Amino acid sequence: MLNVATSTARRLCVSIAGATPAEALALAKESEPIADVIEIRLDSMTPPDISPFLNGLSKPLVFTNRPVWEGGNCADEEIKRIGLLKKAAETGAAYVDIELKTDPTLVTELFAAARANNCQTIVSWHDFKCTASRQALTEVFQGQCRSGADIGKIVTTARCFQDVFRVLALQEQAAEMGFPLIAFCMGPLGMISRVATTDLGGYMTYAAPDNGPATAPGQFSASALRRIFTELGHGD
């Protein structure tokens, strides 16, 4: 059976994608009363910056610099892209998110910087087209476990309800391995998984800022998802 999370484990991360650091910071500040964690999408802003968020926000921050090849906007060389995440880890980020497909040498360097600065690492894998087979998802999960990251993240696109079941079922493997996992589906059919995942052991779920753009298809607004949690007795 899938493990059911305790109420203290239900983390709501608001994902911020502003065109400029100032715009992103304003959205992040508006989201602070609702969020448990705030994700800063460095790949969305020009120029990407880190210090305004570390200096201007009090909630734990995830810094992500998603490359074009995994659905993001960063087209920089990999050394430069990962260099920004390394800087975030060294200067106060609570988490950095790095893709499973990233060059292993760069991943090792980022993880070393994170460990030295008490920053947790999230290794992520996204599929914006569909949901892979159970076996393929298990292989992705096992690769994340072997990566040395603190937390895994597997996000797919649901085309039917069976896709949702397969992704949420990964939480059973995660519980058996003792490896924290973020797992849910994008798209309209995946919206229920964004609500259910933390009750099934998921480390965290993601929402869009109330007055800003979504960073993935099927995201609830932060206030809407918080209201759902409250109605379900998940706390304020």
Active site residues: 126, 153
* Token pair listed for 118: 């008490």
The length of the chain in residues reads: 236
How far from the centroid of its chain's Cα atoms is residue 150's Cα?
Answer: 13
Question: Counting beta carbons within 10 angstroms of the beta carbon of residue 21, is it exposed (0 to 12), middle (13 to 18) or buried (19 or more)?
Answer: buried
User: Which residues neighbour 41 within 8 Å (Cβ) at sequence distance 6 or greater?
Assistant: 15, 16, 17, 24, 64, 65, 66, 72, 215
Answer for the pair 161, 189: CB distance below 8 angstroms, yes or no: yes
* Token pair listed for 102: 């990233």
- Amino acid of residue 224: A
* Token pair listed for 175: 């519980």
Question: Is cis: bond before 47, omega within 30 of 0?
Answer: yes
- Amino acid of residue 222: A
- Rg of the chain, C-alpha, whole Å: 16
Question: Counting beta carbons within 10 angstroms of the beta carbon of residue 30, is it exposed (0 to 12), middle (13 to 18) or buried (19 or more)?
Answer: middle
